[in-house]
Amino acid sequence: MRALEARRAFRTHLCAAALALLCAACATPNVSKVESSALPRPGAKVVVGEVANASGQQPVADIDVRLKEAVIAALKTEGMLAADPPAASDLALTLRITRYEQGNAFKRWLLPGWGSTVLGIAGELKDSQSGKTLASIDYTSTVAVGGLYTVGAWSTIFARSATDVAKDLRARIESGGDFVLAPASRADRTSTAIPPQPDGIVVSVGPVQDLRPEQGRIGERFAAFGVKMSDVYSTRVVPEYFREALIDEIQLHGRRVGEAQSDVAITPSLSKLWVGTNTTPLYWDITAEIECELVFQERTAGAQPLSKHYSGKATGRTFVYPSATLMSRILNEGLDNLFSQIVADPVWASLRPLPKP
């Protein structure tokens, strides 16, 4: 009798545990400090409030003023800057500079990763009436490599970062982009840099041709039984990020990148950058897939263009909600895989410099 009661109790506990796991897989998580019920809010504009320097650095320039001016200009370009006076539906943005390193272009030219320019930004987007936080901002931009063409990066990094922040906010406000991933700087993903190659080849990298079927979202999350949880967006403008990452990776592996008078021109195109989930009642499989093509064109007489295709992939399994942090990690691992193929390709050894006059 006691044995029968024990078996019944065990089955009861087992069913309760399975039910808890099933409910956990179906519930809506709070993963990104965003009140998803308040976004999207099409037509809402942004009022830029306080922008503070919380980096602990006191550079010569007023970096908080520079960032505020850059964000206002970028929001105006995106059509997201609120009028004066603002409407009741408009949103209030406050920002903090959490990290700032001015860097040095000459040092970056000598050794990639040395003399990096870094700007870290955090902040909140709030309802202007209730003061409730609707979305959080967490963004870092790095110029870790480059030579003379990166002179002044300590200043231009503000405009570039502000453009990314403004585009990110527009996606969240207009499209409900309440789940946003952060692709990492390649310098932050690479611990060491290779000294410049002795062949002296200089390459140029053109703008990225964005051939993705969708140029807004970069993925989707699903709960069990095909229930959609949210769309996935990027904190960075994808083609601009990809070009920056490609340049960084090339230079971190010992190749010079120049804007003009290069020996080899590289034309990149991006056909896929997607992060998604395959869900069961007990776990999520997260998959990131990236595909691109690089066309190498040597500038020597008679050289024919060479097209190379690369694809990177990463997967991960989680038994808890697929958070933005976890999905960002899988995305960055997929990018690691892609860029490791690019820099290891034998095509680099076959490139030749222009004949010297």
DSSP assignment of 290-314 equals EEEEEEEEE-STTPPPEEEEEEEEE
Whether 177-357 and 41-175 are alike in CATH topology: the answer is: yes
Q: 35: closest CA among 217, 221, 170, 178?
A: 178
Q: Where are the domains of the chain?
A: 41-175, 177-357
Q: 181: closest CA among 4, 280, 329, 78?
A: 329
Q: Is 340 in a helix, a strand, or coil?
A: helix
| Residue 345, φ and ψ in degrees, nearest 5 | -65, 135
| Residue 46, φ and ψ in degrees, nearest 5 | -120, 130
Q: What local confidence, expressed as pLDDT, does residue 59 receive? A: 64
| Domain 177-357 coded CATH 3.90.930 | no
User: Rounded to whole angstroms, how far apart are CA atoms 39 and 36?
Assistant: 5
Number of other residues whose CB lies within 10 A of the CB of residue 52: 14
Q: What local confidence, expressed as pLDDT, does residue 17 receive? A: 37
Q: 77: closest CA among 169, 153, 139, 183?
A: 169
Q: 92: closest CA among 70, 69, 75?
A: 75
Q: What local confidence, expressed as pLDDT, does residue 152 receive? A: 55
pTM: 0.65
Q: What local confidence, expressed as pLDDT, does residue 288 receive? A: 97
User: Rounded to whole angstroms, how far apart are CA atoms 275 and 332?
Assistant: 10
User: Rounded to whole angstroms, how far apart are CA atoms 47 and 97?
Assistant: 18
Residue that is written with structure tokens 């989680």 in the block: 318
Q: What local confidence, expressed as pLDDT, does residue 266 receive? A: 95
Q: What is the pLDDT along the chain (357 residues), one digit of tens a residue?
A: 444 444 444 344 434 333 333 332 222 222 233 334 467 788 899 999 999 999 887 765 689 999 999 999 999 999 999 998 999 889 999 999 998 888 765 555 555 545 678 888 999 999 988 898 888 888 887 765 554 444 456 678 899 889 888 988 887 787 665 577 878 878 777 766 677 777 778 899 999 999 999 877 899 888 777 777 778 888 777 898 899 899 988 888 888 888 667 899 999 999 999 999 988 888 889 999 999 999 999 988 888 999 999 999 999 998 887 888 889 999 999 999 999 999 999 999 888 887 766
Residue that is written with structure tokens 């959609």 in the block: 228
Give just the sign of the alpha carbon dihedral 124, 127, 133, 136: negative
Q: 317: closest CA among 330, 331, 300, 334?
A: 330
Q: Is 225 in contact with 286 (CB distance < 8 Å)?
A: no
**Cβ-Cβ contacts under 8 Å for 237 (sequence gap 6 or more):** 163, 164, 167
User: Rounded to whole angstroms, how far apart are CA atoms 234 and 181?
Assistant: 5
Q: Is 235 in a helix, a strand, or coil?
A: coil
- Assign a CATH topology to domain 41-175: Rossmann fold (3.40.50)
Inter-CA distances, 181 with 138, 177, 192, 328, 333, Å: 10, 10, 25, 5, 13
- Residue type for position 344: A
Q: Is 65 in a helix, a strand, or coil?
A: helix
Which residues make beta-bridge pairs with 95?
Answer: 51, 123
Which residues make beta-bridge pairs with 232?
Answer: 219
Q: What local confidence, expressed as pLDDT, does residue 216 receive? A: 76
Number of other residues whose CB lies within 10 A of the CB of residue 240: 16
